[in-house]
């Protein structure tokens, strides 16, 4: 069996492995929390990025109030770990209501969301039959990229009323300007952050004017959270990938590649000198199939190779990936077998930390003394 003893250093770990630089992670956590404090809002990190209790505990310790989840499995796992204030930020499917209610009845302060009349009616009917209730937030669409109701949509009030008159508390509105991932300019990001803020606040004001309380105004994505100039009317912000950052975020311009806390440890297993290729044991199973940088300013292939100490190796990108083979294309290809000997360990920075992490049952947290500690992460639904 694989060696799982604690405190191995990077040279001793089996490959591939997902490495979390805990120093960088803590700096990312602290910087985001300080920013939220300065903006005068609560912070509710999205834990879908890591699905790891050890990481989320560090976010809570830094000042996060509650968490955001993308699946009920995440809600269950983090509730079992002692976190009670949880927003399930995917539109409620009626068939999932019993599972959500089971969590609530165990003491979880679970908020669910809706953006349509059918889901709102299903929630009302379910709660009536269960003789219980949910805190429901309405999802607002502020950038047209996915789900939600436009702030000026008549349906926003109609759905608010279905819930309100059905005895369900409309606890808030929430939006996610996910189109921020497509930008790479600080002015444009600040403008989108303002659009996200203004649209969500406007939706809350319309609901309140209609007699629906709507205490919470929740906005966010990593780029807009870092670009917002002010957050008047907003009560809380959500962001996920900032905790590790990744090459997509570096291209968006909200971090430097030196801020990226997640990397994939890999070993050299072969060479094709004529092609300038070093073959490594990090293929797409280790990196994920995410090619999020493919349409950005700089395309990193499946990732940017670094030396074992984390220093980027310029001209060394993971150009291709099969399931367990990565093809590292080296621009200056002379003497490959000597420069990248069989067994040499490298680290690859990922395009997308959420997708890469999801390939692993555990992270290896790299401590300041060079030792590592296994941090479990879960998967599935």
Burial class (CB in 10 A: 0-12, 13-18, 19+), 312: middle
Per-residue x/- marks for its own copies, 168-207, CB under 8 A?
----------x-----------------------------
Residue list 68-107, contact with its own copies (CB under 8 A): 70-73, 76, 90-96, 99, 102
Residue 31 sits in the site that holds its own copies (CB under 8 A)? no
Burial class (CB in 10 A: 0-12, 13-18, 19+), 73: middle
Point out which span in 55-63, 66-74, 223-231, 328-336 binds its own copies (CB under 8 A).
66-74
- Shortest reach from residue 11's CB to its own copies, in Å: 9
Tokens, residue 136 = 């429901």
Choosing from 37, 81, 128, 146, the residue that interacts with its own copies (CB under 8 A) is 146
Tokens, residue 255 = 């971090």
- The span from the CA of 173 to the CA of 94, in Å, is 19
Residue 361 sits in the site that holds its own copies (CB under 8 A)? yes
Q: Which residues, other chains included, contact 338 with Cβ-Cβ below 8 Å and sequence gap of 6+?
A: none
Share of the chain residues as helix, strand and coil, in percent rounded to the nearest 5: 35, 25, 40
Choosing from 163, 252, 327, 349, the residue that interacts with its own copies (CB under 8 A) is 327
Q: Which residues, other chains included, contact 30 with Cβ-Cβ below 8 Å and sequence gap of 6+?
A: 62
CB 280 within 8 A of CB 328: yes
Phi and psi at 59, nearest 5°, equal: -70, -40
Q: Are strands 312-321 and 304-306 parallel, antiparallel or unpaired?
A: antiparallel
Count of positions on this chain that bind its own copies (CB under 8 A):
69
CB 218 within 8 A of CB 87: yes
- The span from the CA of 217 to the CA of 223, in Å, is 18
Tokens, residue 275 = 């092609």
- Shortest reach from residue 125's CB to its own copies, in Å: 12
CB 350 within 8 A of CB 49: no
Per-residue x/- marks for its own copies, 229-248, CB under 8 A?
--------------------
Point out which span in 126-134, 144-152, 165-173, 191-199 binds its own copies (CB under 8 A).
144-152
CB 381 within 8 A of CB 71: yes
- Residue 157 or 286: which CB sits closer to its own copies? 286
- Shortest reach from residue 199's CB to its own copies, in Å: 15
- Residue 25 or 241: which CB sits closer to its own copies? 241
Residue list 113-132, contact with its own copies (CB under 8 A): 115-116, 118-119, 122
Residue 312 sits in the site that holds its own copies (CB under 8 A)? no
Instruction: Give the interface with its own copies as residue ranges (CB under 8 A).
Output: 1-3, 14-17, 48, 70-73, 76, 90-96, 99, 102, 115-116, 118-119, 122, 141, 144, 146-147, 178, 267-272, 275, 279, 281, 284-286, 288-291, 320, 322-325, 327, 337, 341-343, 352, 354-355, 358-362, 379-381
């Amino acid at each position: 069996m694989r060696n799982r003893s604690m405190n191995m250093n990077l040279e001793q770990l089996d490959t591939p492995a997902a490495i979390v630089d805990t120093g960088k992670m803590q700096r990312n956590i602290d910087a985001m929390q300080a920013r939220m404090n300065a903006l005068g809002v609560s912070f509710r990190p999205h834990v879908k990025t890591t699905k790891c209790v050890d990481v989320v505990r560090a976010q809570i310790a830094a000042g996060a109030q509650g968490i955001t989840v993308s699946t009920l499995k995440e809600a269950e796992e983090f509730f079992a770990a002692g976190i009670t204030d949880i927003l399930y930020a995917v539109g409620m499917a009626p068939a999932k209501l019993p599972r959500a209610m089971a969590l609530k009845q165990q003491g979880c302060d679970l908020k669910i969301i809706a953006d349509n009349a059918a889901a709102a009616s299903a929630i009302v009917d379910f709660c009536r039959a269960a003789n219980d209730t949910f805190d429901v937030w309405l999802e607002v669409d502020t950038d047209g990229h996915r789900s939600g109701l436009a702030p000026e949509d008549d349906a926003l009030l109609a759905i608010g009323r279905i819930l309100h008159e059905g005895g369900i508390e409309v606890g808030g509105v929430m939006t996610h300007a996910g189109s921020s991932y497509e930008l790479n300019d600080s002015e444009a990001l600040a403008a989108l952050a303002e659009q996200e803020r203004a649209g969500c606040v406007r939706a809350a004001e319309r609901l309140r004017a209609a007699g629906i309380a709507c205490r919470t105004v929740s906005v966010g994505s990593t780029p807009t959270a870092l670009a917002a100039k002010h957050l008047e009317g907003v009560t809380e912000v959500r962001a996920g990938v900032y905790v590790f950052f990744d090459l997509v975020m570096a291209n968006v311009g909200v971090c430097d590649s030196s801020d990226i806390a997640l990397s994939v440890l890999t070993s050299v297993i072969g060479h094709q000198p004529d092609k300038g290729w070093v073959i490594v044991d990090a293929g797409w199973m280790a990196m994920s199939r995410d090619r999020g940088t493919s349409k950005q300013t700089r395309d990193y292939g499946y990732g940017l190779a670094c030396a074992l100490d984390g220093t980027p190796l310029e001209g060394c990108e993971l150009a291709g990936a099969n399931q367990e083979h990565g093809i590292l294309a080296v621009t200056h290809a002379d003497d490959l077998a000597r420069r990248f000997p069989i067994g040499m360990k490298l680290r690859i920075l990922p395009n997308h930390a959420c997708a890469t992490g999801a390939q692993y049952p555990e992270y290896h947290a790299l401590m300041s003394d060079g030792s590592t500690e296994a941090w479990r992460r879960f998967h599935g639904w």
